[in-house]
Amino acid sequence: MGLRSNPRVRRWTSVVLAVVAALSLAVGLLAAWAISTVFDASTLSRRAVHALDGEAVRHEVAVQLTDQLVKSGNRQVIAFKPAALLTVEALVDTDAFKSIFATAVRRTHAALIAGDGASGLDLSDSLSLLAEGLQLNTEKAAAASDGGSSNSLADVMTTVADLPVWGWRSAMTYGALGAFLLGLVAGVGSVLAAADRRKGVVRVGIAMSAGGSLIILVIALGSLVAARFATDPDLKLAAQEAVWAAAADLRATGLGLAVMGMVVAAAASPGERFSPDRMRASVTARYQQLRASTWGTLLLAGLSAMVGLWIISDGETATRVVVFLAGLGLVFVSARLVVSLASAVAAVVDADGNVQPQRRWLGWTIAVVGVSSLVVAFSVVNFNSAKAAAESASVRTCLGREDWCDLRLDEVTLPGSHNSMSSPGYAGWLFAEQIEPVGGQLRAGVRALLLDAHYGRKSSVRVPGSNVQLVITDIAGEFAVPGAELPSEEIRKKAEELAASAPSSGSAQREVYLCHNYCELGSVKMVDEMVSVRRFLESNPSEIVTIVVQDAVSSADIVAVVEAAGLTDMVATLQPGKPLPTLGELVDSNRRLLLFAERGDADAPAWYPKAYDWFQETVYKFDSIKGFTCEANRGDADNPLFLMNHWVGASPPDPDLAAKANKRVVLEQRVEQCRRDRGLVPNVIAVDFATKGDVMAVAADLTGNR
C-alpha cells in the first residue's frame, strides 16, 4: 500500500516532517544568532556591557576588582574593604568603566578567535579610574596589575576558552543556511504529505511554536551551564544573569517564532476543534477522567507536587515559563476568535441558501487583516524592544549628543589645539602654547590635536627641577626623512645652546617624541600621549578625536607608535571619492580616531593619509587679532574638510592674548569671514591655549546650527 493510499502513513510522515522543520528552524536561528553575536567582537562587547546593568553581574565584577586591590596589598582597601567595595560597584556602573570593560571583552574575544586562549578579562586600564574614585595613590593602585587584575573572572574565562566552538564560524555559516533550507523543505513536505492539508498546516504551526520554545529552553539551559563554570556561588548567579540578558534578542526571536506558530495553527485549524470553548471542555473532561481512577489521581498529585516544588525552588524561572505559556495561550485564543468571526461572517447565506460573495470576501478580509495585525503588532513590540535592550544599556550619542550621530565629518566643527603637546604639564617644557597636557585638553573638550613628531635621544643631563632626562633631537635621523620641516634659525640657536651642555647618553636609543621643532625645548614620548588618547576614547565611547601629525619622522615609525599604544583597532580609514562617514558610523564601528600626516610617506597605511589630501586650511602666521584672514594655504579647494588656524604668533606665547583671540565675538567674526570669503565653515578650529576662551562653545554651536 503506497503513501497516498495509507492515511496513517501520511499522517505520521507529516508529523515527522513537522518535527524536522521545528528542529531545523531552531538550529538555524541559533546558528545565525551565534554568527552575528558570539563571533562578532563589537556586538559581543555591547552585550557584555549591557550585562553590567544586572545587579548580580555588577556586584561580582566589583568583588573581583576589589579582591585584586586587596591582593596587591593596598592598605586602604584592606582596612576599609566594605566601603571600598561599595565605591567600586558604583564606579562599575559608570560609562568610563563600561568602555574599559567593552575593550577588555574585545581583546579577549580576539584571543579566543585566534586560538590563543584567555586567562581572563584584562581590566588593568580600570586601575586609574578605581584609584581616582577610591582616592588611592595611582602608583600603588597600579601594582594591582601584578597581583592579577588581568585575570578577572578567570575561572569562567578559562573554561570558555577551552570550548571548541571558537573555530566553528565557517561551519556554522553553512550549517545555518542548510538548516533553514531543510526546515523550509520539511515544512512544505509536512503539508503536502498530510491527507488533510489544513491539518498539515496546523502541524507546521505547532512545530514552529515548538521550535521557538526550544530556542528559549536552550537559552535557559545555557544560563545554567554558564553558572556551572563558576566556582563561587555569587559568580554563578552573575553568569546566569549575564547569559539571559545577553540573549535577549534571541529570546525575542524564539518567542516570535512560537507566537507566529500559534497564530498559524489557530488560523488553519478546521471548524471548532481548536476553539477556546472546545479546548477548555476537553481539558475539563480529561481532568475528570483522571480523577475517576486511582492511578490518575496519583498522577495528578505527583505532577502537582513536582510543579509546586519547582515553583518554590526556582520561582523566577517558573514564573517566566508560566507567563510564557499563558501568553502563547492568549495569542492562540485571539487568533481563533478572529478566525471564528471571519468564518461566521463568510457563512451568512441569503433567503435562497446561497453564500453571498461579498460576505465571503468580508470574512477573508477579517481573517487576513486580523491575523496579520496580530503578527505585526507582536513583531514591532517584541523584536524592537528586545534588540534595543540587548545591544545598548543607554541611548547612543556622538560627541555627547544623540542628534549628531547622523552628521558626516564635514558637517561638524571640532575644537582643536595648536601644538597640543606644548604644555608646562610636561617636565622641562619651554615656550608652552597650551596649559593642560594632551589628556587634560581632551577632558576639557578639545577634539582635534595638532602634534609635532620628532626623533630624539635621552641625554645624560636631567631637566632642572625634575628627574626627567633631557632629550636631544636626532637631527641626523630627521635629515634622512625626505621633506621633513626644519625649524627656524632662532629656535635652532636656543636648542643648540641647551644641547651643547647636554651630551647624549651612550646607551640611549632613538625614539619618537612630541616636540616643538627641537626636543631640547621640551619633549614627551609620543607613545605615552597616544596611550592617553586611547584611554580617553575607551572611557568616553561616544567621543571622536582627530589628530594631525607634523611629521619629521617616517610613517613606519608613527605606525609603530600607534600599534604600541593599542590604537590600531580604533583608527578610521577614509575612502577617497566616497562620502565621509557619519559620527554614528564611527561610533558604531569603534573607529573613533582619525589620524593624518602633514607630510606622509608613500608606503603609509590607508588609515594614516596625508592631511592635505583631505583638508584645506587658512594661513597660520598672524601678528595681531586684527590681522586674521581666511587666505588659503595648503590643500586643494575641493578637499572636504576645512582647518581654520586661529592663533597670534608671539614669543614667548601669550595666554592672555590667546584668551582674547578665543573670545566668542572674535571667533564668530572669523568664521563669518571664512563663510563669506571662501564659502566654508571650519571643521576644525585650532587655537593656542585652547582651554581659555569660548572655542568649545562656538564649535558646538556651529555643529548644531549648520
Mind listing the pLDDT tens digit for each residue in 177-233? 888 888 888 888 888 888 777 777 778 878 888 888 888 788 777 777 766 666 566
The one-letter amino acid at 706: R
Q: In the prediction, which pLDDT does 539 show?
A: 81
pLDDT confidence bin for 413, thresholds 50/70/90:
very high
- DSSP-assigned letter for residue 120: S
Q: Which residue has the cell 619633549?
A: 523
DSSP state of 38: I
Question: How far apart (Å, rounded) are the C-alpha atoms in residues 492 and 472?
Answer: 12
Is the backbone peptide bond immediately before 579 cis, with ω within 30 degrees of 0? no
Burial of 638 (0-12, 13-18, 19+ CB in 10 A): exposed
Q: Provide the residue type at 368 as one letter.
A: V
- CA-nearest of 60, 103, 53, 42 to 394 is 53
* Helical axes 41-51 vs 95-113, angle rounded to 10°: 140
Q: Which three cell numbers stand for residue 108?
A: 579577549
Per the DSSP assignment, residues forming a β-bridge with 451 are 549
Q: Which residue type does 254 have?
A: G
Cβ-Cβ contacts under 8 Å for 2 (sequence gap 6 or more): none
- d(C-alpha 297, C-alpha 652), whole Å: 98
> What are 31-83's pLDDT values in tens digits?
887 777 777 776 777 777 777 777 777 777 787 777 777 776 667 777 777 77
What percentage of residues in the chain have a pLDDT greater than 70? 68
Lowest-confidence segment of 298-302, 331-335, 664-668 by average pLDDT: 331-335
Residues 492-551: tens digit of each pLDDT: 555 555 555 555 555 568 899 999 888 888 899 999 999 999 989 988 888 999 999 999
Q: Which H or E element spans position 642?
A: strand 641-645
Give the span between the Cα atoms of 240 and 223, in whole angstroms: 4
Burial annotation 340-363 (CB, 10 A radius, 16+ → b, else e) = bebeebbeeeeeeeeeeeebeeeb
Listed in sequence order, the DSSP H helices in 395-450 are: 438-444
Q: How far apart are CA 22 and CA 186, in angstroms?
A: 9
Q: Vertex 428, ends 427 and 434: CA angle to 5°?
A: 75
CATH number, domain 402-449+531-704, options 3.40.50.300, 2.70.98.10, 3.20.20.190, 1.10.3720.10: 3.20.20.190
State how far the Cα of 254 lies from the Cα of 324, in Å rounded to an integer: 11
Q: In residues, how long is the chain?
A: 706
694 phi and psi angles, rounded to 5 deg: -120, 25
pLDDT interval class at 391 (50, 70, 90): very low
pLDDT of residue 5: 57
- Comparing CA positions, the residue from 455, 445, 620 lying closest to residue 540 is 445
Biggest CA–CA distance in the chain, Å, is 119
- Give the pairing type, strands 641-645 and 615-617: parallel
Q: Which residues contact 614 (CB under 8 A, 6 or more apart)?
A: 574, 596, 635, 639, 640, 641
Report strand pairing: 641-645 vs 684-687.
parallel
Burial of 94-116, coded b for 16+ CB within 10 Å and e otherwise, reads: eebbbbbbbbbbbbbbebbeeee
- List Cβ neighbours of 58 (8 Å cut-off, separation of 6 or more): 52, 89, 92, 93
The C-alpha R_g of the chain, in whole angstroms, comes to 34
Evaluate if residue 107 carries a pLDDT over 60: yes
Given phi > 0 = left and psi -120 to 50 = alpha, else beta, which region is 481?
beta
Residue 454 has what pLDDT? Answer: 94
Q: What is the C-alpha separation between 413 and 403, in angstroms, rounded?
A: 15
What angle (nearest 5°) sits at the alpha carbon of residue 182, between those of residues 180 and 8?
Answer: 135
**By CB neighbour count within 10 A (0-12 exposed, 13-18 middle, 19+ buried), where does 605 fall?**
middle
- Given this model, what pLDDT does residue 488 score? 56
Cβ pair 573, 591 in contact under 8 A:
yes
Tell me what percent of the residues of the chain surpass a pLDDT of 90.
Answer: 30
- Residue reference for cell 596649559: 435
pLDDT at residue 393 in the model: 42
C-alpha cell at 302: 505527583
Residue ranges covered by each domain of the chain:
38-167, 402-449+531-704
Is pLDDT above 60 for 4?
A: no
Work out the end-to-end distance of the chain between its first and last CA atoms, rounded to an integer number of angstroms. Answer: 79
* Residue at 244: amino acid letter: W
